[in-house]
Amino acid sequence: MLRVEGVSKSFGGVQAVDDVSFTVTDTEIHGLIGPNGAGKTTMINLISGFLRPTQGRILLEDREIQNMPPETVARSGIARTFQNLRLFRNLTVRRNIEVAESHAADASDPTLIDDAIDRFGLGPVLGLAPDALSYGHMRRLEIIRALALRPRVLLLDEPAAGMNTEETEELFRNLLWLRERHPCAILLIDHDLKFIMSASETLTVMNMGRLLASGLPQDVTKNEEVIRAYLGHGETV
Ligand SMILES: Nc1ncnc2c1ncn2[C@@H]1O[C@H](COP(=O)(O)OP(=O)(O)OP(=O)(O)O)[C@@H](O)[C@H]1O
């Protein structure tokens, strides 16, 4: 579905992403982890067209997308959320979703978003402004907005940030529901190793811009470089 091939990105002297390759297959939940500054958000920005790689190619079903602007990438079927939420603050929750839906390339499945609103518990807050929502609700709204585009690949940048354990577990169940209801690949960034290990079918680990490992979670977490990168940051895998 999505292939990242030898992708690099530098900002002046900073090599944020250094020759990274990995593949996201149809309808898998693919975790992307790494310590702070590893290059995870830069990778999402590269895939979604917000940044252009210095080198390498990004392919969506064999079509090169690395030079497309973000709107074209979104229309091609890649939707994303942002680590620091980007909601329309002067519009209601309902309008935020409707605006996204008006940009959907594929208008099939008209009940998808109503079903997602119910499932994610946003029904009671549809008439409110995003600023009136709890942080957890804002994060769920971002996911539904991205889903409204009917993506083939959904990029989620720390969707569980700021959530407690219970909310994180509910989010995980909701992502499984979402993937069942609207089959798509999900690329998920998170710092919560327990969450990402239980949520991901494939795991990619980055450190200081480089790919350390990509594969089945149980294999990746045995990788010595991965263990060193995480133990170095006081965490265990
Ligand atoms: N626009 C930018 N200009 C200059 N440097 C940048 C820019 N964006 C990212 N960087 C640098 O690139 C490196 C990777 O950053 P990035 O945000 O992708 O890491 P990350 O893995 O997402 O980290 P975090 O988990 O803290 O969000 C960092 O050294 C960061 O300072």
Q: Please tell me the distance between residue 53's alpha carbon and the centre of ligand 1 in angstroms.
A: 14
pLDDT at residue number 170: 92
Residue 56 lies in a domain: yes
Query: What is the distance between the alpha carbons of residues 147 and 48, in angstroms, rounded to a whole number?
Result: 15
pLDDT at residue number 83: 72
pLDDT at residue number 190: 86
Residue 93 lies in a domain: no
CA distances to 35, 53, 81 from 226, in Å: 10, 25, 26
The CATH number given to whatever domain includes residue 223 is 3.40.50.300
Is residue 102 pLDDT above 90, yes or no?
no
> Ligand 1 atom 5: the closest Cα is on which residue?
11
Domain enclosing residue 21, as ranges:
2-88+150-231
Residue 22 lies in a domain: yes
Rounded mean pLDDT, 182-193: 90
* Residues 48 and 93: beta-carbon distance below 8 Å: no
Tens-place pLDDT, residues 38-92: 999 999 999 999 999 999 999 999 999 999 999 999 999 999 998 766 778 889 9
Q: Please tell me the distance between residue 125's alpha carbon and the centre of ligand 1 in angstroms.
A: 34
ipTM of predicted assembly, 2 dp: 0.95
Tens-place pLDDT, residues 162-180: 888 898 899 999 999 999 9
Query: What is the distance between the alpha carbons of residues 188 and 158, in angstroms, rounded to a whole number?
Result: 7
Residue 225 lies in a domain: yes
Q: Please tell me the distance between residue 40's alpha carbon and the centre of ligand 1 in angstroms.
A: 8
* Residues 147 and 120: beta-carbon distance below 8 Å: no
97-107 burial, b at 16+ Cβ within 10 Å, e below that, comes to beebbeebeee
Q: Assign residue 20 a region: left if phi > 0, alpha if psi is -120 to 50, beta otherwise?
A: beta
Residue 95 lies in a domain: no
Q: Can you tell me which atom of ligand 1 is nearest the CA of 83?
A: 27
Q: Please tell me the distance between residue 111's alpha carbon and the centre of ligand 1 in angstroms.
A: 38
Residue 113 lies in a domain: no
> Ligand 1 atom 4: the closest Cα is on which residue?
11
pLDDT at residue number 33: 92
Q: How many domains does the chain have?
A: 1
Q: Please tell me the distance between residue 208's alpha carbon and the centre of ligand 1 in angstroms.
A: 9
Q: Record the tokens describing residue 33, joined without a space.
A: 């982890």
* Ligand 1 binding residues, C-beta < 6 A: 11, 14, 16, 34, 36-42
pTM summary value: 0.92
Residue 117 lies in a domain: no
Residue 194 lies in a domain: yes
Which among 4, 11, 191 is the best mutation to test ligand 1's pocket, defined by most ligand atoms within 8 Å of the CB?
11
Query: What is the distance between the alpha carbons of residues 28 and 61, in angstroms, rounded to a whole number?
Result: 15
Query: What is the distance between the alpha carbons of residues 178 and 185, in angstroms, rounded to a whole number?
Result: 11
Is residue 7 pLDDT above 90, yes or no?
yes
CA angle centred on 8, ends 49 and 60, rounded to 5°: 45
